[in-house]
Structure 1
Amino acid sequence: MDFGFGAAEREFRAGARDWLAAHLVGPYAEAVGVGGPGSEHQGVAARRAWERELGRGGWIGLGWEADAGAYGQQRASLTQQVVWAEEYARVRAPGRVGHIGENLLAPTLIAYGSQEQRDRFLPGIARGEELWCQGYSEPGAGSDLAGVRTTAVRETAAVRETAAVREREGAAGRTGYRVTGQKIWTSLAQDADWCFVLARTEAGSRRHHGLSFLLVRMDQPGRIEVRPIRQMSGTSEFNEVFFDGALAEEVIGGEGNGWTVAMGLLALERGVSTLVQQIGFAAELERVVRDHLRAAGGTAAAADPVLRDRLVRQWAELRTMRWNALRTLGGTADTGAPSVAKLLWGGWHKRLGELAVAVRGAEASAGLRDWAPGAPYEEGLDEAQRLFLFTRADTIYGGSDEIQRNIIAERVLGLPKEPRRFS
């Protein structure tokens, strides 16, 4: 693909800059640089309001494969989507709280959902009014997603216990599911309106058989409980979610086809959003470089040569990841591409966290040694130390490095499968 920026992209960039300058004011300006991975607990109210502002401007769903303007969004080419992401990062606009709905759930609905389902859910996402979280991982099924144990049992609206639920359904006799089980590492569950849940709808089924992709409203008192998970960095952006007969209102892609839908979503997660993620990485790297130069007296020549070499390697690897992400955004038949992307950015970001502490020297290392894990986020840690602690998980969540290497070995290279402990 040609990812050059021509006249159309320059015009689009000018429009994006003008809009951001005109709207990133008042309470939104106070949320500049707030939120994102490791800081999701910050400024949630302002960021939710900003999400609605983005929706009013038509900036949500730029790349959705749907009729132009069908849900109030602008339409943009791949290069224009890159331009928007660059401009958004340039002004350090508030960390998005609608990422999961816009970039994961919406494209999945467009690919696998019915027209009725798209018309029901996409407008709320496009307006920035409904937030989503992802119910995939469980205590015994993280990287090995096919091991999920959460169950869902069919139920018709006629036997549901409250008139309020039936009225909200809007159709007597409509089939739903009762979901029971536990999900873990659920980002933004404490603020989400909806959750898409991978659950076992066929009793006695095993592995990737008998799974369904369900949509569950989070506001079900007594049926859903969200418990924050305190991380060693002191934040609680991840959660445990317990379902006790919670109502799932929709199944996407048909009952029993959940594995296909779930894998399709993961391909979207590691394709579309990877480039945007890297723009944030570039800003973090720039701050680490500034710290290094400050420690060296402001000149690159005086900087420690070993650390300088590590910084150059980080920069070069980030550029490589950028071009790889652009290549895969254009479409690829390489089934290992999502796993390669995850291996690249997970290891890169973890090394950046280590480098951020290294350039600060003994003071930063001593601060980490003396700090009590799980202490409040705002106490005792600077930005470099928080980056170090948060990035320890990068090679684990979203599919561990070991799992990604297995996928590449088995599905791309055709190597024998690893022995399984289950039957």
Structure 2
Amino acid sequence: MPNTWVPLPTDSGYGIDNLPYGVFTTDHEPDRPRVGVAIGDFVLDAGAAARAVGAPLDVLDAPSLTALMAAGRATWRGVRASVTTWLTDPSRRASVEPHLIPRRDVVLRLPFEPADYVDFYASEHHASNLGRIFRPGTEPLSPNWKHLPIGYHGRAGTVVVSHTPIVRPSGQRKAPTDAVPSFGPTRRLDIEAEVGFVVGAGSELGTPVGLDGFADHVFGVCLLNDWSARDIQAWEYVPLGPFLGKSFATSVSPWIVPLEALDAARVAPPARDVEPLPYLDDRAAEPWGLDLSMEVRLNGHVISRPPFASMYWTAAQQLAHMTVNGASLRPGDLFASGTVSGPEVGERGALIEITWNGENPLKLPDGSSRTYLEDGDEVTITATAPGPNGTRIGFGEVSGRIVAAR
């Protein structure tokens, strides 16, 4: 990869090997969202740059990423190659440089229009921890867990961009010792540190997408926080699963890292002790495990470093399972990995695990403690991945601050 003429901080996760896509506005044009590309401490106004160099790339001259995403893999590759050329060829600098905007001067928006949202449950460590919490003395994993990627359908309309305030949800709650349920704000508001996968190219209803179709349909990767009201969830989830305890908000990071930028981060998933059915069998396929290093901060304090490489089910297997019944894909479909947790206490991606359902309160450096989130708390999830030649691919952050119930 050639060097860029854009000045880069030495520790930038937004180098020429990354080039994530987002959507932004500026203070003087707050009602004109535009497609942007992160490079160093700048955001490239991609549509304006395309016009400046005379490139016929209408998919970049748009208020969201949806048109680019829907165009398919050949277009994704072509656009990425073009943007790379603009930012590395010195002869293009005079045309392109005026369309670089300092990142501090832009407002990042929700980068795509969510179509459907599916959340999975793919970490064996997370699933086992929850099984031990809620079913002590029994087998922690359900009998189907190692045979298929378990998931549920969420609410696409409540997917929000990073830094959107999270209103504490209300609903029914019933503790085991309560005679009847009560109604009110959740007392057990939690986080789930996850990775999201954004679908670009759609598929035909009735036609499954196999493991080998993953890169043809998934446009890129973002960070995701699947906020969870554990007391509401515990009362409602039998027998049909998560509903109001999850659907009030899901936060995503504003930058979508192209799948192509993650070639150096691909790793084999953990060894599996149950042979998957053929449509999920990736042993002979190129691996789609990803070596992402994640970090979770609560009010600025690091509370966890979940390792994404430990996830039992890969995103390619999740997509294959999600469509094996013939369900179609649409541009903007979002599916999430499920909580990322590793084998160590400091690698757990949710407070329910970190505090063992409140039994072991989390001690913060400022002297306070938490079992679950309080109003005013802010949670920030960040991640990086290996890039070529020792570089790091940055994902930015997904943050949210809790505000009181309405």
Per the normalisation by structure 2, the TM-score is 0.27
More helix as a share of residues: 1
RCO greater where, 1 or 2, for CA within 8 Å and sep 6 or more?
Answer: 2
- Give me the TM-score of the superposition, normalised by structure 1: 0.26
Q: Which has the higher strand share?
A: 2
